[in-house]
Chains A and B, each alone.
Chain A
Amino acid sequence: MPNTKTYKLPFILLSLLLVVCFFVNISLGSVSIPTKEIFKSLVGTIDNESWHYIIQNYRLPKAFTAILVGSGLGISGLLMQTLFRNPLAGPFVLGISSGASLGVAMVILGSGVFGGIFTTLLVSKWSVVIAASLGSFLVLLAVLAVSSKVRDTMAILIIGLMFGSITAAVVSVLSYFSSAEKLQQYIFWGFGSLGNLSWYELMIFTIIYGLGLLLSVVSIKALNTLLLGENYAKSLGLNIKKNRLIIIIATSLLAGTITAFAGPIAFIGLAIPHMVRQIFTTSNHKTLLPAVFLFGAIIMLMCDSIAQLPTSDYTLPINAITSLIGAPVVIWLLVRKRKMMF
């Protein structure tokens, strides 16, 4: 698909904004560090040891996590909206995040319920990650199986909501039998957090994220073809089954690992693609994908900076901030345009 416009200027501006947001993000925190010292720390000539430690081991990984989370959720939302031909699709609405939550609840709360050998076996960071990815993949497969039978997209969204309800129900059953400590662990995971990752965990996160991103990039042509609808796509020689599976695997890798490492983060996946379409008035995924990447990263860095409550000791749950920003944006888009495009 051609670009009638190349959108050079918006891309340059967004890239610059990303860099600015990145520096703003790492210069804000509960300990105030002068901007000059931050640059010094980045090039490694800082004298203050504790400041250096905060920046290197806390703020930098957090900023990178924010970039991965924002861009990844935005991209998975974009893929879902095209695949389901529905502007309201997104990892959260379709129940993918619920699936991940269910997997994590099984591991954290379930380990207390089943006890014994499971406790030591299951509750490590990695089992949480695997459970979340597996949960989101299974829910996505279920949604897809239903969507091939039900052509009505509203039904698919309702089914996504139902998966959310089932998750909530299973979690309440599990929490009834769990210890307070386990329950707290699960609830804190549910708040969402960008800050708990070590460099090693961030590396694993980046590898899986990179795999999801790679599959998304490979799917650009298929996604563009799918804009015509499945029957036209088939008549253009597209292998629907294969490409649909690739798109789904890409989405569950992205949404699954993000939910696993950072908790369920609402509305970013749904809102970012629509915000991007306000700037880039195209449906070409060759333009949209990098734009969503940049925009998602920027918004997430901003949300994290706000959640940090600069100069105070408190950190708000990131999940609350993204909802507070994301939900009004979606409402505003619906009211203003009446019709959401994808």
Chain B
Amino acid sequence: MEAETQHTILKTNNLSIGYASKKELKVIASNINIALQKGELIGLVGANGIGKSTLLRSLTKVQKPLSGTIMLNNKDLSDYQALELAKGLSLVLTEPVASKNLTVFELVALGRQPYTNWVGNLSEKDIESVNLALSQTNINDLKHKKCYELSDGQLQKVMIARALAQDTDVIILDEPTTHLDMYHKAYILKLLQKLVKETQKTILFSSHEIDLAIQLCDTMIVMTNNEVVSDSPCQLITKGTFETLFPKDLIAFDNKTGNFRVKK
């Protein structure tokens, strides 16, 4: 059992990310060595503009890494076909869906696209997966509502359900808690924790809710100007990694509460 729970799903090897144009090479971060295990909730934190989004874009094959490799299920990410990748990795992005005229069921069912036939008909198994995703995220009662009728918090749950319906080993969320109130921030992250436990999926999210992430995540990836560190939250606190997150003039990390305090 022990060996099974320590199964590595997503692994980077000397990954270097950034933007390459004809004129110059802009390296955002380099020497990234992280390994995401099966059934883990991983939080990615870092200051604004440090490259969290770039890292997520690289991990999801939206952009090419400058150097190094990314392995998903022991296969190089660059060797994946688009459809194959869609069955291994699903996303929740910060951008709103283009059409809010979809019903919740329709939207979640779009997560089944990689498995449906040429016209997109749902098989019984597809409908089963959609209903499972709806109940896992507690939105069964929203099923027939249109997306424009939903609050931000409800919409975020729907997007998570859509990613679940895609039936992938890894789900990556880009700042799933922005625009939400304090209660819903905690609710969404707690939901992710519950999903990890129930489904043994690997869920990676980026967030600015450092205190919540410390309480809920199995592993955290901290991006600072100099390095990308990944470890369990307790270890990171002990090592003092969180102190290096931000400039020290305004706020300071309190080891006891796992929180940032404004300097008086």
Taking Cβ atoms with an 8 Å cutoff, the residues of A that contact B are: 1-2, 4, 82, 85, 218, 220-221, 224-229, 231-232, 234-239, 277, 281-284, 286, 339, 341-342
Contact = CB atoms under 8 A, between A and B. Distances in A.
Interface string B105-125: 111011101101011101000
A238 B101 contact: no
A318 to B, nearest CB: 31
A4 B86 contact: no
B241 interface: no
22 contacts: A2-B105, A2-B130, A220-B119, A221-B116, A224-B110, A224-B120, A227-B102, A228-B107, A229-B95, A229-B97, A232-B110, A235-B60, A235-B89, A236-B111, A236-B113, A236-B114, A237-B82, A237-B113, A283-B106, A286-B119, A341-B100, A341-B148
Contacts of A226: 98
A228 B82 contact: no
Contacts of A85: 98-99
B205 to A, nearest CB: 15
B95 A235 contact: no
Contacts of B83: 237
B120 A220 contact: yes
A4 B107 CA distance: 12
Given A237-B84, A237-B114, A339-B148, 8 more contacts: A218-B118, A224-B110, A231-B91, A235-B93, A236-B166, A237-B87, A283-B106, A342-B101
B85 interface: yes
Most buried by B among A1, A282, A341: A1
B66 interface: no
Q: A interface, by DSSP: helix, strand, loop or mixed? A: loop
Given A4-B103, A4-B105, A227 B120 contact: no
A286 B120 contact: yes
A213 B60 CA distance: 35
Nearest to B106: A1
B127 interface: yes
Interface string B127-138: 100100000000
A227 B99 contact: yes
A239 B86 CA distance: 11
What 6 pairs between A and B have smallest CB-CB spacing?
A237-B86, A237-B83, A341-B101, A221-B120, A227-B99, A229-B98
Interface of B: 60, 62, 81-87, 89-91, 93, 95-103, 105-107, 109-111, 113-114, 116, 118-120, 122, 127, 130, 144, 148, 166
B144 A4 contact: yes
Most buried by A among B81, B87, B110, B114: B110
A232 B101 contact: no
Nearest to B146: A281
A228 B127 contact: no
Given A4-B106, A227-B97, A221 B113 contact: yes
A101 B181 CA distance: 53
Contacts of B86: 235-237
Given A231-B62, A235-B60, A2 B106 contact: yes
Contacts of B130: 2
Most buried by B among A226, A227, A229, A238: A227
Contacts of A2: 105-106, 109, 122, 127, 130
A282 B101 CA distance: 7
Nearest to A339: B148
Contacts of A281: 101
Contact of B98 (A1, A227, A238): A227
A145 B81 CA distance: 26
Contacts of B144: 4
Nearest to B120: A221
B106 A232 contact: no
Contacts of A227: 97-99, 102, 110
Contacts of B107: 228
B120 A232 contact: no
Contacts of B96: 229
A284 B113 CA distance: 13
A330 to B, nearest CB: 17
A231 B99 contact: no
A255 to B, nearest CB: 22
Contacts of A225: 110, 113
B116 A283 contact: no
A334 to B, nearest CB: 16
A234 B82 contact: yes
Contacts of A220: 119-120
Contacts of B85: 237
A236 B106 contact: no
Nearest to B91: A235
Contacts of B110: 1, 224-225, 227-228, 232, 236
A229 B162 CA distance: 14
